[in-house]
Each structure stands twice: as C-alpha cells, then as structure tokens.
C-alpha cells in the first residue's frame, strides 16, 4: 500500500477533474431542489414531503411537450415550471388546511401517485422504459459553450457546460430566495413558522402565504428536474423516488434550518461524501459497500446533530424560538 491509500480508500480520484465536475452537477441539482424544502420547512414551517413529485411533474411536462407535441425545448422549460406551480396549488388548496402531520402525509402521497402514474402511463411517459429525445436543443447549446471554452483555452469535458449553467442557476436562485425571505413577504412566512395564530391575529391570510411558499418550492423542484433530466438524458419513474426528498431534508439539516448559504454548503458536502465513498476499497460485496457508504454519511449527520444541532450555518436562537412555538 502506498501513501495515496489509507484504510482502504484511494485518494487518486481527487485529482480527477471529471469527478469534481460530476460532484458539481449533482450538488447544484440537489441544491436547487433543496431551496424549495428550505423555503417550506426552514422559513414557513410547513413539512413538504412531496418535492420529488413536483420535480417529476415539471420534468415530465417538459419532456412530453418536446417529444410528444413538438414544442420548443426552451418554451417547454417555462411551461413545465408553470405546470409544477399549478400542481403545487392543486395539492396545497385542500391539504394546507390539514394539521401539519396530515399535510406531510398528503404531499408524500401526491409524490407517490405521480411516480406510479408515470410508471403506468406508457403512451405518454414511456413507462419504466423512460422518455428520451428531449435534450437535442441542449446538446446544441452545450456544443456552443464548449466552443467558447476552447477559445478561452479550457479543455472540453463532457458535463462542464452543464456544470457552468447549473452553478449560475443555483447561486442565482439561492441569492434570489434569500433576498425574497428578507422582504416583508418573507418576514410574514417566518411569523407563520413561529406562531401562525399570532400572524393570523395581525390580519395576515396565512393560508395564502403558505400556498405561495409551496408553489414557489414546486417551481424550484421543476428547475432541479430539468438539471437532472439533462444530466441523465432519460426520464424514468425510478429517478423520482421519495428518497430524493429525504436527501433534500439532509441538506437542509446539514446547512441549518432557515439558512440559504447552508443549502449551498450542505448540497456540496453531502454529494461529495456520497460520491467520494464510492472509492472505498474493501473486501466486501457491492451491496455491503453501498450500505457502508450510507452508514458513514449517517454517522456524520449524527455527529452534527449532537455537536451542532442548528446545522453549520443555522442559528441556535431560531431553534429556541421553534421550541417555544
């Protein structure tokens, strides 16, 4: 064993540019996805477990419009966001009147309904065989970006154009949502999170504000869905498993409830851990190595909860306010 290998892990992958590009593409995708969860849970105080469902709705709307209806890819992106926002309104109108735990269950049920509909509606979504052929316009745009990078002396890499676009979108959306939360509208959301009855007593229509929060989160999920769809080049129901939403919650907890800088950090940290642990070199079966990867991530999360329960960028006083609420 040489100096580059310690306890069964080879660190040579850290010198691989493609590894970092892949981490960046996945982290920005999960980051945009998690911004919506942060807006719902960290800022508004509503527990949305259906974010993967909204992601699927937006992605499939885009894919179906391009492949089945011949709509322009760029126009379909906008339309898909609109469909996802409409889905957020449709889910929120009846379910946001429920108690918090029932609302969480109803959003999770919505997510599973979307996934099973996509799996069984073969004529529209391609079923478990998947839907593909929607990314031709992106391939052309990617080639143009590669050309610009070559003029700058940067060697072409397969996912580098997608990383650059994703990173710009992620940082831009994170800044936009953070500014939105600092506005009077965002302060009402925080008031709802801490004491909805008090916010209602001040004349605020808390139901409308929560519905707006859920709809914006659905739109963010659709954008994350586009990032995922372009990366994998095929839409399949298996890509929208509820575990995606669980990853989103992990990112929010890692970064800190209510912290949008925390979402940026948490997404990169989680994806780096998940991808780096793929390089474990142990005399175990693939299934056991995969289980060990998640045990390592779980141990890191447990340590974080014990030693810094507010998350990396969270504020302890906010946890105190929540406990009193």
User: So what's the pLDDT on residue 290?
Assistant: 75
Predicted TM-score (pTM) of this structure = 0.89
**Selection from 210, 187, 235, 262 nearest residue 34 by Cα:** 262
User: So what's the pLDDT on residue 4?
Assistant: 44
Question: What pLDDT tens digit does each residue of the chain (325 aa) get?
Answer: 444 444 455 677 778 888 899 999 999 999 999 999 999 999 999 999 999 999 999 999 999 999 999 999 999 999 999 999 999 999 999 999 888 889 999 999 999 999 999 999 988 998 888 898 898 899 899 989 988 888 887 877 888 999 999 999 999 999 999 999 999 999 999 999 988 899 999 899 999 999 999 999 999 999 999 999 999 988 999 999 989 999 999 999 889 888 999 999 999 999 998 888 777 776 767 677 777 877 887 888 788 778 887 777 777 666 554 544 4
User: So what's the pLDDT on residue 93?
Assistant: 93
Choosing among 1.10.3210, 2.60.120, 3.90.1570, 1.10.3470, the CATH entry for 5-324 is 1.10.3470
User: So what's the pLDDT on residue 217?
Assistant: 96
User: So what's the pLDDT on residue 325?
Assistant: 47
φ, ψ of residue 11 to 5 degrees: the values are -95, 10
Strands (DSSP E) along the chain, which ranges?
5-6, 9-10
* Cα separation values, 39 from 13, 36, 45, 48, Å: 35, 5, 8, 10
d(CA 167, CA 147): 19
d(CA 236, CA 15): 32
131 three-state secondary structure? strand
Mean pLDDT score across all residues of the chain: 88
User: So what's the pLDDT on residue 9?
Assistant: 56
User: So what's the pLDDT on residue 320?
Assistant: 53
Q: Report the alpha-carbon angle 226-68-240, nearest 5.
A: 35
CB hemisphere CA count around 307 (13 angstroms): 7
């Amino acid at each position: 064993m040489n100096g580059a290998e310690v306890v069964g892990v080879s660190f040579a992958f850290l010198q691989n540019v493609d590894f970092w590009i892949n981490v960046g593409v996945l982290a920005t995708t999960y980051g945009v996805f998690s911004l919506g969860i942060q807006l719902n849970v960290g800022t508004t105080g509503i527990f949305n477990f259906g974010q993967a469902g909204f992601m699927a709705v937006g992605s499939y709307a885009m894919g179906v419009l391009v492949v089945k209806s011949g709509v322009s890819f760029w126009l379909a992106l906008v339309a898909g966001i609109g469909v996802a926002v409409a889905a957020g309104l449709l889910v929120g109108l009846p379910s946001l009147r429920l108690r918090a735990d029932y609302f969480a269950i109803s959003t999770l049920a919505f997510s599973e309904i979307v996934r099973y509909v996509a799996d069984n509606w073969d004529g529209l979504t391609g079923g478990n065989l998947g839907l593909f052929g929607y990314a031709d316009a992106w391939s052309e745009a990617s080639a143009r970006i590669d050309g610009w990078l070559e003029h700058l002396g940067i060697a072409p890499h397969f996912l580098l154009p997608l990383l650059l676009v994703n990173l710009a979108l992620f940082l831009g959306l994170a800044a936009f949502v953070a500014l939105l939360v600092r506005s009077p509208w965002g302060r009402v959301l925080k008031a709802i999170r801490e004491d909805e009855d008090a916010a209602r007593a001040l004349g605020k229509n808390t139901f409308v504000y929560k519905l707006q929060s859920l709809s914006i989160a659905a739109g963010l999920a659709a954008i994350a869905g586009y990032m995922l769809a372009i990366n994998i080049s095929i839409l399949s129901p298996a890509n929208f498993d509820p575990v995606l939403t669980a990853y989103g919650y992990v990112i929010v907890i890692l970064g800190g409830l209510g912290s949008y800088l925390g979402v940026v950090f948490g997404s990169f940290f989680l994806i780096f851990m998940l991808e780096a642990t793929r390089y474990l070199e142990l005399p175990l079966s693939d299934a056991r190595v995969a289980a060990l990867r998640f045990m390592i991530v779980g141990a890191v999360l447990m340590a974080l909860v014990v030693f810094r329960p507010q998350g990396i960028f969270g504020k302890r006083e906010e946890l105190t306010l929540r406990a009193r609420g």
